[in-house]
Amino acid sequence: ISAVNGLLTQEFADINFAFERCLSIFPNYPRLWLDYASILMRQRRITATRRVFNRALRALPFGQHDRIWDAYLKFAVAVESVTPQTTRHIWLRYWKYVSDKKEAQSISRLIASLERCRFFDDAAQILAEVAASEEPTSMLLPSESSEGK
């Protein structure tokens, strides 16, 4: 019998089954989705974790997606050295989701992750989209609030 993080494989299987049952009854509770994803991450089950995050985004109302995306992006960064293609998929999906394409923190995190994973073409495409937009971003220009301080 093998163990992961001190728990036996069967114990994790039982926990996973319990989460699946709970989510089939209560799919609109982001905390359940986040806890389940966390348990799967502890098991180092990358594909299963990604699938749970994707299911959460489909099941939850759009207004609750920010809670999921925060954890999903942390997961993407955590697995980027193991599975860069998964990280790329997550960040590009996030880019489609994010409404403020000018938000400097989102852009810089996205570009940095794509560059670390060596997806330079994707990073360049995102930067081209930002540059082609009508208004300059705060990432590229100093903000008015920081001037004169």
In this prediction the pTM is: 0.79
**Whole-number Cα distances in Å, 51 to 54, 104, 142:** 5, 28, 39
pLDDT at residue 38, as a whole number: 97
Nearest Cα to 112, choosing from 70, 76, 66?
76
Q: Are the C-beta atoms of 94 and 104 separated by less than 8 Å? A: no
List, in sequence order, every beta strand (DSSP E) within the chain.
3-4, 7-8
Q: What do you get for the CA distance between the two ends of the chain, in Å? A: 62
Amino acid occupying residue 8: L
pLDDT at residue 6, as a whole number: 58
For residue range 90-133, list pLDDT tens digits in order: 999 999 888 676 676 778 889 999 999 999 999 999 988 888 87
* Separation between Cα atoms, residue 108 and residue 77, nearest integer Å: 13
What are the φ and ψ backbone dihedral angles of 56, each rounded to 5 degrees? -60, -45
Q: State how far Cα 18 lies from the chain centre.
A: 24
Q: Give pLDDT tens digits along the chain (149 positions).
A: 455 555 678 899 999 999 999 999 999 999 999 999 999 999 999 999 999 999 999 999 999 999 999 999 999 999 999 999 999 999 999 998 886 766 767 788 899 999 999 999 999 999 888 888 756 545 554 444 444 44
DSSP state of 61: -
Q: Are the C-beta atoms of 110 and 95 separated by less than 8 Å? A: yes
Amino acid occupying residue 78: A
pLDDT at residue 8, as a whole number: 77
Beta bridge partners of 7: 4
CB atoms within 10 A of CB 75: 22
